């Protein structure tokens, strides 16, 4: 049996740890590595990059109420809290009459700067989770951040293409009667796959360690599940439990978006910590501070 298969088996066996011991060690490491504060910083940078990134995607769809904007609105309304979804909807409406060429050129310049902060913070946070120091030069980190931004944009657009095209495929093969139900199932499947891919990209390129690519890890599976559950619970709570607009007024959408981005950032970093704890506990794993073989 190869070392890779041994490590994969140990990973999904939680490195020999019980669920209670894994949770206990992860909690201790999250506190020691200050991941709550790092998640707040990551959420801040993500908020700065969100609207330029959204502008960039809409410009690729030639502006206005393109199929990209329609799908972004649908997905945000289903997954995000009402105030956060409204913030995205207002931004899309504000850009409807903008020039696609001008929007694209301006957003690209802002996006390069904003996204570099997001992925630099991801590198810093995952380095802390894996207990390693950053040794990559500044220019390499910035270039990697730009490349990862393009990859994430392509991943999101590809996911939207699948979501848009799927009902037409169902109609073509004669399943128009159940198209709506199947389309919803496929939409959620695509969203989950896109999230898992995003986590995998962050865990592979973020920390400054040598490792093998894995599509799904225990940390990414738990992180994505926690993010989806937390998003739905937050949405239901804000929809039926309280009215934040009365408290925050015009800032309610911004506050809700920041809150969701914080939850997403924390899920990402805690997932990385879970992977690190498992790897350190496994017999063939990496010791803290050492590069993975």
pLDDT exceeds cutoff 80 at 178: no
146-to-100, 128, 143, 204 alpha-carbon distances in Å: 21, 22, 5, 16
Task: Please give the DSSP secondary-structure letter assigned to residue 15.
Answer: G
Residue 21 lies in a domain: yes
Is 293 part of a structural domain of the chain?
A: no
Number of domains in the chain: 1
Q: How far apart are CA 220 and CA 226, in angstroms?
A: 10
Q: Is residue 221 part of a domain?
A: yes
Q: What is the pLDDT of residue 2?
A: 34
Averaged pLDDT for residues 207-212: 85
pTM (two decimals): 0.80
d(CA 196, CA 218): 11
Q: Establish if 286 belongs to a structural domain.
A: no
* Residue 292 covered by a domain: no
Are 209 and 291 spatial neighbours (Cβ–Cβ below 8 Å)? yes
226, part of any domain: yes
Q: Which residues contact 193 (CB under 8 A, 6 or more apart)?
A: 159
Position 22 in a domain: yes
Query: How confident is the model at residue 284, as a pLDDT?
Result: 59
Given a cut of 50, is residue 73 above it in pLDDT?
yes
Q: What percent of the chain has pLDDT over 70?
A: 63
Let me know if residue 62 belongs to a domain: yes
Contact 231, 57 (CB under 8 A): no
Give the angle 41-221-44 at the CA atoms, nearest 5°: 10
Alpha carbons 293 and 289: distance in angstroms, whole number: 12
Q: What is the mean pLDDT of the chain?
A: 76
Q: Which pLDDT does position 209 carry in this prediction?
A: 86
**How many angstroms separate the CA atoms of 91 and 144, rounded?**
28
CA distance from start to end of the chain: 16
* Residue 106: pLDDT band with limits 50, 70, 90: low
Full domain range(s) for residue 270: 3-281
pLDDT at 170: 65
Residue scoring higher pLDDT (48 or 144): 144
Region of poorest pLDDT, from 28-42, 122-136, 225-239: 225-239
Tell me: the pLDDT tens digits for 219-242? Answer: 999 999 999 999 888 877 777 766
């Amino acid at each position: 049996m190869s070392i890779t298969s041994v490590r994969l088996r140990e990973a999904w066996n939680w490195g020999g740890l019980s669920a209670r011991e894994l949770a206990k060690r992860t909690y201790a490491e999250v506190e020691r590595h200050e991941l709550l504060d790092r998640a707040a910083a990551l959420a801040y940078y993500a908020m700065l990059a969100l609207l330029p990134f959204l502008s960039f995607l809409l410009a690729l769809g030639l502006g206005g109420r393109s199929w990209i904007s329609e799908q972004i609105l649908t997905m945000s309304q289903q997954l995000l809290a009402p105030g956060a979804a409204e913030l995205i909807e207002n931004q899309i409406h504000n850009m409807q009459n903008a020039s696609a060429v001008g929007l694209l050129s301006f957003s690209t310049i802002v996006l390069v700067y904003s996204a570099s902060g997001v992925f630099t913070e991801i590198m810093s946070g995952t380095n802390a989770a894996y207990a390693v120091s950053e040794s990559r030069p500044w220019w390499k980190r910035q270039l990697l951040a730009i490349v990862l931004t393009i990859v994430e944009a392509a991943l999101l657009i590809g996911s939207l293409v699948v979501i848009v095209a799927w009902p037409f495929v169902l109609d073509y093969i004669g399943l128009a009667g159940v198209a709506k139900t199947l389309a919803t199932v496929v939409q959620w499947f695509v969203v989950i796959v896109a999230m898992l891919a995003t986590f995998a990209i962050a865990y592979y390129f973020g920390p400054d360690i040598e490792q093998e690519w894995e599509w799904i890890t225990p940390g990414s599976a738990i992180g994505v599940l926690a993010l989806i559950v937390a998003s739905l619970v937050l949405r239901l709570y804000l929809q039926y439990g309280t009215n934040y607009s009365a408290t925050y007024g015009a800032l309610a959408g911004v506050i809700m978006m920041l809150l969701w981005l914080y939850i997403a950032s924390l899920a990402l970093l805690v997932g990385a910590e879970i992977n690190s704890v498992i790897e350190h506990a496994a017999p063939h794993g990496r010791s803290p501070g050492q590069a993975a073989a």
